[in-house]
Structure 1
Amino acid sequence: MEQVNQIKEQESGGLKRTLKARHLNMIAMGGAIGTGIFLALGDTIKQAGPGGALVAYGCIGIMVYFLMTSLGEMATFMPDSGSFSVYATKFVDPAFGFAMGWNYWYNWAITVATEMVAGAVLMKFWFPGVPPVIWSVIFLTLVVVLNLLSARAYGEAEFWFAGIKVATVIVFLIVGIATIYGIIGGHYVGFKNFTVGEAPFVGGPKSIFLIFLIAGFSFQGTELVGVAAGESEDPGKNIPKAINTIFWRILLFYMGTIFVVGALIPYTDAGVQTSPFTMVFQRAGIAAAASLMNAIILTSVLSAGNSGMYASSRTLYGMAKDGKAPAFFGKLNSRGVPVNALIATTIVASLCFLTGLYAETTVYVWLVAASGLAGFVAWVGIALCHYRFRRAYVAQGRDLGKLKYTAKLFPLGPIIALVLCIVVILGQGLTYFQADTIDWKGVTSSYIGLPLFLVLWLGYKKKHNTKVIKLEDVDLKVNNEK
């Protein structure tokens, strides 16, 4: 019956279910393993010490686990490429769905622009005389072409992009552990660096809290598996598999990397803040380590841009199909790609990129800050949607045993995730509040995403006079139900 429904959906002109299980696995992995692990992770050790970084990433990892299981329960029951907007519309309030959709769209559209800027900066390492804009245009063209071909092309590209990153982390962990025990390098390093200075915990609880913010940014992108569910060959089987296995691998990679870096490089070393991977590879005697890591980080940037283009175009398409964006964006080409939504996202990403390249720096900083906060807002939405979904499911007398995937520890799981997300959002500008002064410019850039979301939410609510949907009235019908 499920295969019949998929065939009908494809014949009716909807998104084609072409993403395989291996694509979903790497989409989830690639979404979370990026510059957060290759660059920002060293800064966390510098700020809070190896012990503080482990605690912070562990706590955020638990939060992300609950978010992923919440998303998994909804995505297997109702797979949809406009997932966050659709779930918020059906399970909470149409106005909330409208704001969630546009929030997630501009989050990834801006991310595409920032990754293109980052890619151009990385290319200066090899080609310092080439204008950065040329590389940005080349990379943006590559990302657009991959997304224009088909969902399968995006998934295949992400499979290889993410595969390179995963292989790098695995090699790093093997080399790092071998170096710790003297198998590489010729002498036993051990774990003395865990007690250098104030280590393992530097700066106390405040430092750990500040690392929460960085850790949260590092894990953003894991929710892409929910967007990809709408084009998965068998979401009921593949989504739970991706969520159950990939999360633990990601957490292991982050915790393992922090452990290795903390053991090999004291937090007092200035190099840990800028290039921990390069330093470890260099100490292991790997030639051209800096050039190698620059290439891998470039791969990570292209992966993020590729995923951002996919997520934003599918979100815009989903909103158009749901009546929350112009119907023009709901058109598909012969390969099942929402080409108009893709073009619109490309234009917006290009404008944001030009703002960063030629306009006032403050505007670009605000755009990037709004995008970062939008990711946490999306996580709040996932937790809230799942809480409402499960309560509505039970209130309508449905059998929980018929769910293809059930999130663990309900309602505690989504409540913990919701509370931690809110804490992280409110803590964005904490460093700008000092005892004797307030950096209002910094505060504004940290929280600018919140008023944008509230304007979308309350503006739609006032215009259409929407209300929070009663549990008994929540629409739990899926495509194959009458």
Structure 2
Amino acid sequence: MGAVPHENQLKPGLKRRHLTMLSLGGVIGAGLFVGSSAIISQAGPLAFITYGLTGLIVLFVMRMLGEMAAAKPCSGSFTDYARMAWGEWAGFSTGWLYWYFWVIVVGFEAVVGGQMINKWIPAVPVWVIALALMIIMTAVNLLSVGAFGEAEYWFAGIKVVAILAFLTVATLFVLGLWPGASMDFSNVTDHGGLLPNGLATLFVGVVVVIFSMTGVEVVTIAAAESAEPARAIRKAVNSVIFRILAFFITSTFLIVVIVPWDSVIPGESPFVAALDRIGIPGSANLLNLVILVAVLSVLNSGLYTSSRLLFVMGGRGDAPAWMTTTNKRGVPVKGILSCTVVGYGCVVLAALFPDTVFLFLINASGAVFLFVYFMICISELRLRRRWEKEDPNILQFRMWLYPALPILVTVAIVTVLVSMGLREANRIELFQGLAVWVALTMIYLVRKRMQKSETRPEQGPDEKSETIAAPAPTLNS
């Protein structure tokens, strides 16, 4: 077979440090810095347990994904594994669900960034700032995968340093080692007890928290553009997950010790409230700057992830074949520009409907990510048994307690989805997510029927109609 032309190749421009920071960058964002306020006000002083439970679900899903990715690295990651396990429909719908989630996130983060900068420069409209952020991040992604990785490395680095600084200062304050502070844990028990709103709130909060932890799976897609995919995946999954759990759980615990849980206002950063209580001057402006970096980081990751998915789906025949073309730097230019179209659409929505755009975009993504996690779980359950029969030595990075633990995690995800349907506040997210999945299924069925009708005249009466997908794009290693 001849050499594959460069227009169907990605280049391995990501280093291991890029991959580690990339998965951190997709997770540590406004969901932690601001979204934690909603969980604390709902669950009370034990909100950190909600983060712990959610973190375990994410950890186990990532372990399952890491097992598959280390055994058979694929540029399409879990979309390819869904296809291997459950057929063409699963790969098609999972890929487009994940793409849909990230392009909505890209638009959402651009609008959030516009809102934040508008507070500092009120003379410039939000939509103009959001448009500028989209253009800048698009340019970064168009340069090369190395430019994207380097930008994300520094974005994520700033966030990690900010969180570590907060954890250090807050720990010193809680232990009474900060000037003027004394060890006092009364805030945990003096405002209605440990469970002021009941035990159920600890579990219901998982619905909200799981969305603030999305993004760590990006590393399995990015690993396909690294020099040593399997090794990079193992290292990134093992190290990043535990750091994320530490960041979320520890920071939330310190916050409820420092400030009364019932004084935390949903939508306002509890980190700022804690730093104000400690007595750090200018903490609000400083943290807002960090949150802006977090927004840019997620915007950067979202453009990368969604464009690479289009690249892979184009090679599988699930998206137009021109999505697989790359320039001489190995960048899928058309895919990146296609993903920005939705982002620019969100900017237009922000200009036309500034008061309702946030709620619309949040509901538009809703339960979609949980559907993707569900597909990862059931794919691992089927593929592990199959792969072990084919090659007993293929799995060098294994999910624990198979099949009991994967089944338990799958049940937990289904339980969270059911709880969304039972809660009025989350019901619309579940229904919109289901509507997207149904629409994708209908598109797949129509597309499949059209392909069969196109091929049937060329075949004999006894031949089965079968559509052959375009060759999968390859990695230039």
Assess same fold via TM > 0.5. yes
1:398 alignment partner in structure 2: 391
Residue 428 (1) aligns with residue 428 (2): no
Q: 1:406 corresponds to which letter in structure 2?
A: R
Shift of 1:81: 2.7
Distance verdict in 2 for CA 1:182–1:152, change over 3 Å: same
Matches within 5 A, 1:17-96: 17-51=12-46, 53-96=47-90
Q: Report the Cα distance in structure 1 between the residues aligned to 2:17 and 2:103, rounded to whole angstroms.
A: 25
Inter-partner Cα distance in structure 2 for 1:250 and 1:278: 20
Unaligned runs of 5+ in 2: 452-471
Partner residue, 1:374: 368
- Give, in whole Å, the separation in 2 of the partners of 1:44 and 1:125: 25
Q: Is this contact kept in 2: 1:21–1:238, CA < 8 A?
A: yes
Q: What is the rounded CA distance, in whole Å, between the counterparts of 1:209 and 1:9 in structure 2?
A: 50
- State the 1:82 CA deviation: 1.9
Q: What is the aligned partner in structure 2 of residue 118 from structure 1?
A: 112
* Equivalent residues of 1:63, 1:416 under 8 A apart: no
Counterpart-to-counterpart distance in 2, 1:101 and 1:130: 37
Q: Which residue does the alignment assign to 1:236?
A: 230
* Residues 320-469 of structure 1 mapped to structure 2, 5 A cutoff: 320-359=314-353, 365-394=359-388, 396-399=389-392, 401-432=393-424, 443-461=427-445, 464=448
The answer on whether the counterparts of 1:106 and 1:371 sit within 8 Å (CA) in structure 2 is: yes
**Deviation sequence 1:116-158 (CA, Å, 0-9, x none):** 1100111123112211122111111111011111111111111
Check conservation: 1:383, 1:417, Cα contact below 8 A.
yes
Q: What is the rounded CA distance, in whole Å, between the counterparts of 2:4 and 2:169 in structure 1? A: 48
Paired with 1:413 and 1:351, the residues of 2 have a C-alpha distance of 41
Q: 210, 214, 220: which is aligned to 2:214?
A: 220
Cα shift readout 1:286-345 (whole Å, capped 9, x = no counterpart): 221111011000000000100110110011111001111110111111111111111111
Does the Cα contact within 8 Å between 2:127 and 2:350 map onto a contact in 1? Answer: no
For structure 1, the residue ranges without an aligned partner over 5 or more in a row are 1-7, 434-441, 467-476
* Counterpart in the other structure of 1:128: 122
Partners of 2:10 and 2:209 in 1: how far apart? 33
Are the equivalent residues in 1 in contact too, given 2:111–2:346 (CA < 8 A)? Answer: no
Distance, in Å, in 2 between the alignment partners of 1:478 and 1:75 is 17
In structure 1, how many angstroms separate the alpha carbons of the residues matched to 2:428 and 2:228?
Answer: 44
* Cα distance in 2 between the residues matched to 1:284 and 1:10: 59
Q: 1:85 to 1:397 in 2, by over 3 A?
A: closer
- Out of 208-217 and 113-122, give the one that drifted further: 208-217
CA contact (8 A) 1:88 1:100 kept: yes
2:280 paired residue number: 286
Q: How many residues align?
A: 452
Give the letter for the 1:334 counterpart.
Answer: K
- Aligned partners of 1:110, 1:369: CA distance in 2, in Å? 10
**Alpha-carbon distance between aligned partners in 2 of 1:429 and 1:353, rounded to the nearest angstrom:** 30
Identity across matched positions, percent: 35
1:241-260 alpha-carbon deviations (Å, 9 max, x no partner): 01011100100111100110
CA gap 1:405/1:182 in 2 versus in 1, 3 angstroms: same
> What is the CA–CA distance in structure 1 between the aligned matches of 2:357 and 2:298, rounded to whole Å?
22
- Cα separation, partners in 2 of 1:444 and 1:284, compared to 1, 3 Å: closer
**Equivalent in the alignment of 1:308:** 302
SS of 1:190's partner is: coil
Cα contact 1:312–1:345 (8 A) shared by 2: yes
Which amino acid counterpart does residue 20 of structure 1 have in structure 2?
Answer: K
- RMSD (Å) for aligned C-alpha atoms: 2.4
- Match for residue 14 of structure 1 among 9, 12, 16: 9
Question: How far apart are residue 9 of structure 1 and its match?
Answer: 7.6
Contact conserved, 2:126 with 2:350, CA < 8 A, in 1?
no
Structure 1 length normalisation: TM-score?
A: 0.88
**Shift of the alpha carbon at 1:210?**
2.2
Q: In the aligned structure 1, how far is the partner of 2:118 from the partner of 2:87?
A: 47
Deviations 1:379-416 (A, max 9, x none): 1111111112102113x4321x3334222222123222
Partners of 1:320 and 1:328 within 8 A in 2: yes
Decide whether the 8 Å contact of 2:323 with 2:334 is kept in 1: yes
The structure 1 residue matched to 2:143, chosen from 149, 154, 175, is: 149
Comparing 147-156 with 415-424, greater Cα deviation is found at: 415-424
> Given residue 282 of structure 2, which amino acid in structure 1 is its aligned partner?
A
Cα gap change, 1:36 to 1:402, in 2 (>3 Å): same
The question of whether the paired residues in 2 share the 8 Å contact of 1:185 and 1:285 is answered with: no
Q: CA separation of 1:333/1:228 partners in 2, compared to 1, >3 Å: closer, same or farther? A: same
| Counterpart position of 1:319 | 313
Partner of 2:258: 264
Q: Distance in 1 between matches of 2:398 and 2:473?
A: 17
